[in-house]
């Protein structure tokens, strides 16, 4: 059946001044204003908050080491002092090695001057055959000549003045000592914050519990435990991945003959903590060194190939295995958070972007007023599968039905997909249509997409019938699932009919297909069909009337009484979706009234309905 074209005003909905009942705003104006003020304070007072945040982050990293030393029998203070001193020693040794390597590079640079000039000359000679490069070269030469001429005129016209400055002790202190001591003081402040955060971690935890949760100590304790575990695990995993990345770079550069390979390996280890651009920056320095050292281009090519191979292996195999779902952030959220924290706090904010955003997402899971953070930044679906499917259909993406069905039926039974996703999506459309929010055109298009879906899934019905036929029939116990892999519908003849709308008819077609997947002989008929002529030669034992209305309309009750008069001797049942809690209606003329696919199958096959296991999903056999 060809798909109907989309209308120009397809998504135009009537204006509703009042929100639906029970709807609440995730981000209120008060919450957004508070977040804006906090961001402004963090930006203005970044010189204060940046060392504080770095110190707390270092405390996060060192806490597992402190706990391990305490388990060895050391006192808390001794364990903290040993951990911080060890960390400071490692940082100092790292800085000394970097300084030594940089001094070696500086002393060896003059001997590389010839190789650099040779390569530049070769590039210029190669550019003579290219018109564009030659024009650019000529432009640069003319600009250089003009600047040299202007400089000569200025030198001739100007009087030669020699200024002799006598630098005093005060100028030496303010111009040399204090700028050099500023980074040392900042790092010292960061370590002091880390030490006191470790010493006072119990008191800080108590204050956070009171600040966030008040009397709800259990929820706040879970929040702090989850945030600490995620940040610590992420940082440790990143450190391991960076070491795995840097060691092959160090050894590879040493093997191919790039000088100061240890220095470049250490730079790579540090720069990999900077998201996205760290790897590129760490590769730039070895490439420049290879360009200067080698008289030809072979060393440059080998260095580039080394970084490409290590980057490809790390990004595609090592990082997914180590990181997995450790952060709880979506890939887009990682990029956005990196941009935001870089704008807020500069390069250091880029390094801290992921840990800080992880903490915000975890807090949002437990603090209702901050739910916008896990919704916007988290990696978990924020809509139910049925609601997400309905949203895609509203946007005109009818292929979403087929895509979702293909992904679901590859692992679960067809009846389960219809019960949990497709038919509830139709029920949402039915509710919006009854409320006047959905036009007739949109409703008919969604129903048409559902009918097209059932045609595409006929192959799944045949596949399930074949799988059940191959399974042993005797000794198979019925599992409390929508489908148990056994053809419970063999020998059953069941008719399915929509209650009063085209969406009901589409749901009836889905239910009929699920019944046929269980081995039953089933047929779906539209709600306006003339009974019993529409049944043809089926001669059903049971007829199921499908309704997607949350409450039972009078027209459905009237239709049940009509069916009872026209089809005497046939069991007539009413199937309601979605399967909400609450008492079932008791309309006259219905032999049974059920909600949900499992209850429908049990009633239609006239077998006891098993108790469902919470959270269990039927898996198809491989």
Residue whose C-alpha is closest to residue 258's, from 97, 100, 99, 105: 105
Q: How sure is the predictor about 617, in pLDDT bands with cuts at 50, 70 and 90? A: very low
189 in Cβ contact with 51 (< 8 Å): yes
Q: How sure is the predictor about 247, in pLDDT bands with cuts at 50, 70 and 90? A: very high
**CA separation, residue 357 to residues 81, 84, 198, 376 (Å):** 29, 26, 22, 11
Give pLDDT tens digits for 383-397.
777 887 888 777 767
Amino acid 213: pLDDT = 61
Amino acid 15: pLDDT = 33
pLDDT exceeding 70 applies to what percent of the chain?
Answer: 74
Q: Residues 250-265: what's their mean pLDDT? A: 90
* CB-CB neighbours of 37 under 10 Å: 10
Amino acid 586: pLDDT = 77
Higher-confidence residue: 3 or 427? 427
Look at residue 77 and tell me whether its pLDDT is greater than 70: yes
Copy the structure tokens of residue 93. 């040794």
**How far is it, in rounded angstroms, from Cα 353 to Cα 366?**
21
Q: Residues 82-102: what's their mean pLDDT? A: 83
Weakest-pLDDT range from 141-145, 241-245, 251-255: 141-145
**How far is it, in rounded angstroms, from Cα 606 to Cα 526?**
24
57 in Cβ contact with 355 (< 8 Å): yes
Look at residue 280 and tell me whether its pLDDT is greater than 50: yes
Look at residue 548 and tell me whether its pLDDT is greater than 70: yes
Residues 6 or more apart from 186 whose CB is under 8 A from it? 51
**CA separation, residue 556 to residues 302, 505, 553 (Å):** 77, 13, 6
Weakest-pLDDT range from 118-127, 352-361, 577-586: 118-127
Phi, psi of 157 (to 5 degrees): -80, -25
Give pLDDT tens digits for 449-483.
888 888 888 887 777 777 776 655 444 444 433 45
Residue holding tokens 């009397």? 215
Amino acid 477: pLDDT = 46
Look at residue 66 and tell me whether its pLDDT is greater than 80: yes
Amino acid 54: pLDDT = 87
Q: How sure is the predictor about 133, in pLDDT bands with cuts at 50, 70 and 90? A: low
Amino acid 285: pLDDT = 84
Give pLDDT tens digits for 319-346.
777 665 556 777 778 788 888 888 898 8
Q: What is the DSSP letter of 576?
A: E
Give pLDDT tens digits for 507-531.
999 999 989 888 888 889 988 888 8
Q: What is the 3-state secondary structure (H, E, C) of 489-558?
A: CCCCEEEEEECCCHHHHHHHHHHHHHHHHCCCEEEEECCCCCCCHHHCCCCCCEEEEEECCCCCCHHHHH
Higher-confidence residue: 168 or 596? 596
Amino acid 193: pLDDT = 87
Burial class of residue 153 in the structure, from the number of CB atoms within 10 Å of its CB (0-12 exposed, 13-18 middle, 19+ buried): exposed
Look at residue 432 and tell me whether its pLDDT is greater than 70: yes
Weakest-pLDDT range from 41-45, 233-237, 500-504: 233-237
**How far is it, in rounded angstroms, from Cα 10 to Cα 7?**
5
3-state helix, strand, coil in the chain (%, to 5): 65, 5, 30
Which ranges of 75-177 does DSSP label H, i.e. alpha helix? 76-108, 113-127, 131-157, 169-172
**How far is it, in rounded angstroms, from Cα 218 to Cα 212?**
11
Copy the structure tokens of residue 19. 């929100």
Look at residue 492 and tell me whether its pLDDT is greater than 50: yes
Torsion sign, CA atoms 433, 437, 438, 439: positive
**How far is it, in rounded angstroms, from Cα 378 to Cα 366?**
13
Amino acid 27: pLDDT = 62
Give pLDDT tens digits for 5-15.
444 334 333 33
Amino acid 246: pLDDT = 92
Amino acid 26: pLDDT = 60
591 in Cβ contact with 386 (< 8 Å): no
Higher-confidence residue: 577 or 412? 577
Mean pLDDT, the chain, whole residue set: 77
Q: Residues 192-200: what's their mean pLDDT? A: 86
Tell me the domain boundaries of the chain. 29-105+182-376, 388-468+481-604
Look at residue 3 and tell me whether its pLDDT is greater than 50: no
Amino acid 18: pLDDT = 40
493 in Cβ contact with 502 (< 8 Å): no
Amino acid 256: pLDDT = 92
Residue-wise DSSP of 90-108: HHHHHHHHHHHHHHHHHHH
Higher-confidence residue: 36 or 202? 36
């Amino acid at each position: 059946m060809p798909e109907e074209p989309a209308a120009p005003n397809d998504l135009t909905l009537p204006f509703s001044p009042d929100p639906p009942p029970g709807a609440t705003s995730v981000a209120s104006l008060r919450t957004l204003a508070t977040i804006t003020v906090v961001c402004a304070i963090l930006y203005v007072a970044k010189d204060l908050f940046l060392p504080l945040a770095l110190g707390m982050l270092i405390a996060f990293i060192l806490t597992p080491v402190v706990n391990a030393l305490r388990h060895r029998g050391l006192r808390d203070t001794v364990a903290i002092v040993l951990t911080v001193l060890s960390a400071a020693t490692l940082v100092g040794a790292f800085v000394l090695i970097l300084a030594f390597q940089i001094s070696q590079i500086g002393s060896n640079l003059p001997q590389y001057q010839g190789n650099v000039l040779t390569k530049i000359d070769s590039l210029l000679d190669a550019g003579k055959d290219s018109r564009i490069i030659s024009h650019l070269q000529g432009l640069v030469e003319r600009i250089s000549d003009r600047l040299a001429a202007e400089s000569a005129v200025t030198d001739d016209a100007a009087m030669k003045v020699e200024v002799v400055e006598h630098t005093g002790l005060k100028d030496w202190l303010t111009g040399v000592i204090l700028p050099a001591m500023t980074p040392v003081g900042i790092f010292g402040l960061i370590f002091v914050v880390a030490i006191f955060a470790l010493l006072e971690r119990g008191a800080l935890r108590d204050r956070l519990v009171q600040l966030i949760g008040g009397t709800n100590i259990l929820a706040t304790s879970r929040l702090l435990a989850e945030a600490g575990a995620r940040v610590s695990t992420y940082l440790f995993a990143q450190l391991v991945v960076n070491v795995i990345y840097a060691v092959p770079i160090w050894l590879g550069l040493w093997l191919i003959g790039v000088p100061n390979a240890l220095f470049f390996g250490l730079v790579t280890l540090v720069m990999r903590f900077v998201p996205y651009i760290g790897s590129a920056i760490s590769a730039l320095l070895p490439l420049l060194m290879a360009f200067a050292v080698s008289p030809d281009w072979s060393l440059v090519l080998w260095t580039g190939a080394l970084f490409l191979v290590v980057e490809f292996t790390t990004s595609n195999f090592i990082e997914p295995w180590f990181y997995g779902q450790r952060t709880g952030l979506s890939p887009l959220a990682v990029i956005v958070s990196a941009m935001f924290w870089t704008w807020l706090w500069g390069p250091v904010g880029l390094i801290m972007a992921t840990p800080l955003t992880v903490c915000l997402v975890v807090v949002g899971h437990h603090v209702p007023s901050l739910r916008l953070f896990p919704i916007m930044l988290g990696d978990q679906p924020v809509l139910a599968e049925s609601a997400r499917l309905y949203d895609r259909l509203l946007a005109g993406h009818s292929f979403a039905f087929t895509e979702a069905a293909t992904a679901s039926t590859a692992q679960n039974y067809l009846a389960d997909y219809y019960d949990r996703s497709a038919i509830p999506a139709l029920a949402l459309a039915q509710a919006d249509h009854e409320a006047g929010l959905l036009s007739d055109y949109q409703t008919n298009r969604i129903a048409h997409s559902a009918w097209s879906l059932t045609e595409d899934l006929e192959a799944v019905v045949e596949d399930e019938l074949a799988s059940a036929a191959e399974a042993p029939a005797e000794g198979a116990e019925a599992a409390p699932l929508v489908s148990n892999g056994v053809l419970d519908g063999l020998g059953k003849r069941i008719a399915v009919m929509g209650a009063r709308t085209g969406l009901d008819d589409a749901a009836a077609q889905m239910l009929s297909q699920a019944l046929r997947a269980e081995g039953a002989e089933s047929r779906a008929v539209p709600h306006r069909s003339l009974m019993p002529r529409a049944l043809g030669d089926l001669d059903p034992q049971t007829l199921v009337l499908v309704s997607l209305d949350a409450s039972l309309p009078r027209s459905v009750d009237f239709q049940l009484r009509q069916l009872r008069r026209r089809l005497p001797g046939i069991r007539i049942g009413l199937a309601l979706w979605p399967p909400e809690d609450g008492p079932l209606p008791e309309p006259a003329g219905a032999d049974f009234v059920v909600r949900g696919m499992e209850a429908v199958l049990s009633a239609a096959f006239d077998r006891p309905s098993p108790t469902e296991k919470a959270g269990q999903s039927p898996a198809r056999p491989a």
